[in-house]
Amino acid sequence: MASLVKCALILSAIIPALSYKENQTYWRQKGAEELNEALNLKQRNGVAKNVILFIGDGMGVQTIVASRIYSKGETGSLAWEKFKNMGALKTYSANKLVPDSCSTATALFCGIKANHKTSGIDASVDVNECKRSLDKKTHVDSFAVWALEAGKSTGFVTTTRVTHATPSALYAHTPNRGWECEDKMSPDAKGVCTDIAKQLINDYPGNKFNVIMGGGRQCLQSPVVDSPKDPVDTWGCRSKDGRNLINDWQNNKKKAGQTYQFLSNTEELNNTDITKDYTLGVFANGHIMYDYERNKGPKGMPSLSLMTEKAIQLLQKNKKGYALMVEGGMIDQAHHRGNARIALEEVVRFSEAIQKAVDMVDLSETLIIVTSDHDHSMQLTGYPDRRDGVMGTTKSKIDNVGFSSLLYTTGGPNNYHFSVKNGSVVREDASKQNTSDWKYSQQSAILNDEVTHSGSDVLVFAEGPMAHLFNSVHEQTHVANVIAYALKIGPYKNRDPSSGATQYHCSYVLAALMTLLIYFN
């Protein structure tokens, strides 16, 4: 009888453990696996042939965590979360604690901090200072320029307009990110400064990019046809001067005797001629539509994953290598509108594009970097149960009214779920709403015109040669310097691996002095 009782006690202890996956054995084993990975981490110190920089626009830590849970579960991983090297980046701009996308892109791509709403110029130029921005001493080159000078192929892919804030820092020098076409330029700037679209098509380095893919037809040509399937972006610039920069791009390539192709939908992208030297793909009037709503048929807009795949195929022909920037730009757009589920879905598609790249390249010669330009104000809060996921609700212990587990600190009118009833402020009960709906606007604390950015640091992940240089909390400018050092381009084109970066300190000091002289003049 005693032995039966003993067996029963043993079984009572074992059965719950067997029925619950995350028991003590599970965590000990998982801990050992992670420790072994860390202990066996090896550095790749060679020179990189290629670089792919992925920018998840507005993809802060909270967005990454929520997207992971949303798509993979708490113990899962997004494509870049298995990378063995990571750090954090400070995102402040030259004059703002909370930055915008073009000033941060300038830091990421050029290694120089810029002022709010300016792109490809240093901090001696403030927003709207057209004439000052014409001084080439204020211009800063991106890693795409350094790559071109080294004989590499270059290009970018984005789900936003190709003239939008983030990609503009690769090729443009402008004191106002809104000057994507002539229509938004101030009267004193028209005819003096060149809009971003014309800089992309006509000026160096944009006119030398081998691959350009994204939206933005409304900035490149006029008129364009507005339709539900391809809406004009009313927030963005819409050209009215009768331009057709797409035709100009093709004519320029033809006159130069270069092989080229223009692509306008998914079918044409799928049938890309990989042998062509130059490819321009413009797939939407404004931004490419959110992935959940875009037309996925042959005449529709392509996915970020497909654009990334084709861009790599086009660029990797060059034996000297390539430099590619890929932006998941609609993460940020969904956050600005306060639609958290759409933002998380865009992160999932961004992850798929990164996985596509990882599967295609040789990491012994290709440096892949994944980061964000800035954070957003979304928070995961309220102690939700794991079984409820991130799209659910919890209840306040004060008034017992439900609130969404994902919240924004600031938000537009659709996010502001407060009203006055009988002289008291009342908050809408989110538990009675469909918080998983695509267009549901998560609650915010402060009413604003839209959800604003956050000033938090963002994470950076890397694999490939010199990926271990992301190892701490860094300035955002560190990314451009790592790219230059890893590929031996730009300021580090003549680097001696044994001497580190010290041989360039003098040139940096001189550059800083020049900036000060320009600023005080």
Query: pTM here?
Result: 0.92
Which strands form 322-328's sheet, in the order they lie side by side? 260-263, 278-282, 211-215, 153-161, 322-328, 50-56, 366-371, 458-463, 85-90, 473-475
The 8-class DSSP code of residue 301 comes to: P
Residue 95 dihedral angles phi and psi, to the nearest 5°: -130, 5
Res 505: pLDDT: 46
Catalytic residue among 101, 103, 119, 124: 101
Indicate the DSSP class of residue 452: P
Residues 215/219/223/225 CA torsion (nearest 10 deg) = 20
Q: How far apart are CA 426 and CA 405, in angstroms?
A: 18
Among 503, 461, 483, smallest CA distance to 152 is for 483
pLDDT by position in tens, the chain (length 521) = 455 545 544 444 444 444 457 888 988 998 999 889 889 988 999 999 999 999 999 999 999 999 999 999 999 999 999 999 999 999 999 999 999 999 999 999 999 999 999 999 999 999 999 999 999 999 999 999 999 999 999 999 999 999 999 999 999 999 999 999 999 999 999 999 999 999 999 999 999 999 999 999 999 999 999 999 999 999 999 999 999 999 999 999 999 999 999 999 999 999 999 999 999 999 999 999 999 999 999 999 999 999 999 999 999 999 999 999 999 999 999 999 999 999 999 999 999 999 999 999 999 999 999 999 999 999 999 999 999 999 999 999 999 999 999 999 999 999 999 999 999 889 999 999 999 999 999 999 999 999 999 999 999 999 999 999 999 999 999 999 999 999 999 999 998 765 666 544 444 555 555 555 544 55
What pLDDT is stored for residue 223 in this prediction? 96
Task: State the alpha helices, DSSP H only, in 92-228.
Answer: 101-110, 130-133, 143-149, 165-171, 196-202, 217-220
Domain extents in the chain? 50-377+458-520, 384-447
Q: Which residue has the tokens 């270069």?
A: 258
Q: Which tokens is 330 given?
A: 């609609």
For residues 218 and 233, what is the distance between their CA atoms, to the nearest angstrom? Answer: 8
Q: Which residues are annotated as a binding site?
A: 57, 164, 166, 327, 332, 336, 373-374, 453
Return the pLDDT at 416. 95
Which residues participate in the annotated binding site for Zn(2+)?
57, 332, 336, 373-374, 453
- Give kind and range of the element (H or E) at residue 366: strand 366-371
Count other C-beta atoms under 10 Å from residue 493's C-beta. Answer: 13
* Annotation says 101 is catalytic: yes
Structural Rg of the chain based on CA atoms: 25
Q: What is the pLDDT of residue 390?
A: 97
Cα-based angle 322, 489, 136 (whole degrees, multiple of 5): 105
Could you say which DSSP state residue 221 is in? B
Cβ neighbours of residue 259 closer than 8 Å, sequence gap 6 or more: 253, 275, 276, 277, 278
Distance of CA 464 to the CA centre of its chain: 19
Q: What is the pLDDT of residue 17?
A: 43
Beta bridge partners of 173: none
CA–CA gap between residue 382 and residue 367 (Å, rounded): 39
Binding residues for Mg(2+): 57, 164, 166, 327
CATH number for 50-377+458-520 (one of 3.20.20.70, 3.40.720.10, 3.40.1160.10, 3.40.33.10): it is 3.40.720.10
Nearest-angstrom CA–CA distance, 364 and 388: 41
Contact indicator for 308, 139 with CB cutoff of 8 Å: no
pLDDT of residue 212: 99
